[in-house]
Amino acid sequence: MHQNPFIFFLFTLLIYLLPSRATADYLIGVGSYDSTGPAAGVNMMGYANLDQSTAGIHFRLRARAFIVAESLDGPRFAFVNLDAGMASQLVTITVLDRLSKRFGNLYNEDNVAISGTHTHAGPGGYLQYVVYSVTSLGFIPQSFDAIVTAIEMSILQAHKNLKSGSIFINTGAFVTYALIVVVRAVLENSGLWQTEKWTPKWADKQLFALSPICHLFNFKTFN
């Protein structure tokens, strides 16, 4: 029977490129879930402006979870990047409570980090402190529930998607960038007022990036 050498070559190459789980450095999982919440009529979190309220959806907001584990039941770390001004203590406590009901002590306050993208375009009303709830005219359960559920479900997705992979750290000089702080105010506070075309000499231009690479695909582009 005639055998196609090209098919044999592809099969051999595939076996070579698929390392076994035993040789992997980590188990890596990612998850993403919609956290948009109320689409209209809710004051946005960030500017403390009563006139800045939601009036429709431009882009959906999401919670994106990344989990790195040493083994299926071993030590791990979960990081959630949330499209919100920030997380909150109440959000974190509620998420951890839900995770404990699903996983026991596998995910807890020591290995789960929730970070906001600092967007000012998401709905407010999900923080527990009065000062943050004044412009949102109080606590808004729909906003809170959407965020908590999105974080929980994104972590659940990442947990179910754990695959063998490696993590690489990259560094480089980030010379052309924008400053989001008032340079003069910062420098005057320290008595060092000076500028260099809005890129002051004291600014840290070193950029560090972690690249989680699954042995089947990479996570550099992830939504």
Could you tell me which residues are annotated as the binding site? 118
**Nearest to residue 207, comparing CAs of 186, 166, 167, 176?**
176
State both tokens at 126: 């999900």
Query: Burial level of 18, CB count in 10 A (0-12/13-18/19+)?
Result: exposed
Residue at token pair 């750290």: 169
Binding residues for Zn(2+): 118
| Cα(217)–Cα(223) distance, integer angstroms | 14
Task: State the Cα torsion 180-184-185-190 to the nearest 10°.
Answer: 120
Q: Which residues contact 153 (CB under 8 A, 6 or more apart)?
A: 31, 33, 63
| Cα(156)–Cα(120) distance, integer angstroms | 27
